[in-house]
């Protein structure tokens, strides 16, 4: 699983930071969290083909999170995208997307399915699932947690000791079924072990809230709104955003392993002061940069 930060700015982009978009690739799935203006160009710079995108999860319909959608959809049509593009978002998503697409005269050449979601498990795939929870910002807003499903692996040392060859028997064991080899019953417990899946939480624009805590709980990676330094806490509350210290406290209290700060106000020429603000309460905090890649 790989995370690529395509955009890390707030409402106003800068020379160094594009509007928000996060791309996650995992075993044939290409998950995009939000799609700010310029996202398709960011994909090109990052070396990711737009056709790799299978699902887009929209946190809310503010311009800096969705204005890249129409261009991306148009481009996918030119690239003869053969999948159905699944777009997930809060209540009103179908109407908002329809209004955006009516603003262009191009024929929409791909199949699109829009899922209006509230909370709980909103997508359940073969190798991963995605949960949503409500956040506290202006209008309907949701955050997401992408959870990799646990995997059963073969205990190679044990298998070699028993002399079990590669083939159908190992396939059954990996599927959680015991087998018989040379008259001996081989248990799943002895022959395999479980590898716990990773969890990535995406907490978009919000005040500190219960939904953010639910998503961040025990996350391997927490990607979090950090629009202002804690010195501007009152402004953050006025505009319903997290401060970088809020993000650090969330990561600490939720038991997250690593925190990546995003959605920085353009007032900050460097995000280092925001990173330090978060590190005052949570050591493993990093101010994300456009095109930063993180592997899990």
Tell me the backbone φ, ψ of residue 216, rounded to 5 degrees. Answer: -80, -15
Please compute, for residue 222, the number of CA atoms within 13 A of its CA located in the half-sphere on the CB side: 31
* Token output for 1: 């699983």
Please compute, for residue 92, the number of CA atoms within 13 A of its CA located in the half-sphere on the CB side: 10
H/E stretch holding 145: strand 142-148
CB atoms within 10 A of CB 286: 15
Active site residues: 64
| DSSP 8-state assignment for residue 41 | H
Q: How far is CA 93 from CA 99, 114, 206, in A?
A: 10, 7, 18
Q: Which residues contact 77 (CB under 8 A, 6 or more apart)?
A: 106, 107, 108, 109, 110
Q: Which residues contact 271 (CB under 8 A, 6 or more apart)?
A: 261, 264, 287, 289
**Gyration radius of the chain over CA positions:** 21
Q: Residue 217, class by beta-carbon neighbours within 10 Å (0-12 exposed, 13-18 middle, 19+ buried)?
A: middle
**Angle at CA of residue 93, ends 127 and 11, nearest 5°:** 95
* Token output for 176: 């959680």
Closest by CA to 91, choosing from 118, 126, 64, is 118
């Amino acid at each position: 699983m790989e995370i690529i930060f395509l955009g890390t700015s707030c409402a106003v982009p800068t020379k160094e930071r594009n509007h928000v978009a996060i791309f996650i690739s995992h075993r044939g799935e290409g998950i995009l969290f939000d799609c700010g203006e310029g996202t398709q160009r960011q994909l090109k710079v990052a070396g990711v083909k737009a056709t790799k995108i299978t699902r887009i999860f929209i946190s809310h319909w503010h311009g800096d999170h969705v204005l890249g959608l129409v261009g991306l959809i148009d481009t996918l049509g030119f690239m003869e995208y053969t999948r159905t593009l699944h777009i997930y978002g809060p209540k009103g998503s179908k109407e908002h997307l329809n209004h955006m697409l009516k603003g262009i005269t191009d024929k929409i050449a791909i199949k699109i399915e829009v899922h209006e979601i509230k909370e709980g498990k909103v997508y359940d795939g073969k190798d991963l699932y995605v949960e949503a929870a409500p956040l506290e910002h202006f209008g309907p807003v949701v955050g997401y947690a992408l959870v990799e499903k646990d995997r059963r692996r073969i205990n190679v040392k044990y298998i070699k000791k028993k002399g079990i060859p590669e083939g159908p028997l190992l396939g059954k064991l990996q599927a959680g079924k015991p087998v018989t080899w040379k008259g001996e019953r081989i248990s799943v417990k002895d022959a395999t072990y479980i590898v716990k899946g990773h969890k990535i939480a995406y907490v978009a624009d919000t005040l500190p809230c219960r939904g953010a805590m639910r998503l961040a709980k025990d996350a391997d990676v927490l990607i979090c709104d950090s629009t202002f330094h804690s010195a501007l806490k009152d402004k953050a509350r006025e505009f319903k955003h997290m401060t970088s210290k809020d993000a650090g406290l969330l990561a600490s209290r939720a038991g997250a392993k690593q925190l990546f700060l995003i959605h920085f106000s353009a007032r900050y020429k460097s995000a280092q002061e925001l990173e330090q603000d978060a590190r005052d309460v949570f050591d493993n905090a990093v101010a994300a940069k456009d095109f930063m890649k993180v592997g899990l």
